Amino acid sequence: MPCWRPPVTPACWSRPKPPRSSSHTGLLVSAKTASVVQQRSDVQELWSFECEDELRSSPYFHNGNLYIGCYDNNLYAFNAKSGDFLWKYPTEGGISGRPAAFDDLVYVGSEDQRLHAVTANRGKLAWTYRGRHFRPSGGLR
């Protein structure tokens, strides 16, 4: 049985990449709710959160945390194991692309035509890049 289930609504466009750990976690996505579950034949919810609009992207697992953008204009950070809310970073547009992370920064594109780089531990803005050819769901064109 795979750890990751396909998205259940058309609003979810990509499949999450599972974290590499002995107790795999997964994300089951409905339009506004995400739940983390263990890989089992009898799937049980470990934790969930509800945002104010659709989830249109996959989460990103980095250093024990899950980062997920929402179409409510926010990037959310959670402890992947416990589900504890860490922080929320506001943008000026919906987020439909998957975040990425490297070292101590999390990167996410938004429909405000900006690429945002925020600190992974506190969700504080490090820098933004605004470009007229920026695609919020996948880089530059």
Dist. CA 134–CA 54, nearest whole Å = 21
Q: Which domain holds residue 90?
A: 25-140
| Residue 1 falls inside a structural domain | no
| Residue 12 falls inside a structural domain | no
| Residue 80 falls inside a structural domain | yes
Question: What's the domain count of the chain?
Answer: 1
Dist. CA 126–CA 4, nearest whole Å = 32
| Residue 7 falls inside a structural domain | no
**Each residue's pLDDT tens digit, 79-130:** 999 999 999 999 999 998 899 999 999 999 999 999 999 999 999 999 999 8
Q: Which of 115, 116, 73 is nearest to 94 (CA)?
A: 73
Tell me how far CA of residue 17 lies from CA of 26, 38, 140, in angstroms.
9, 14, 22
Q: List the structure tokens of 141.
A: 């064109």
| Residue 128 falls inside a structural domain | yes
Dist. CA 68–CA 86, nearest whole Å = 12
Position 12 pLDDT exceeds 50: no
| Residue 2 falls inside a structural domain | no
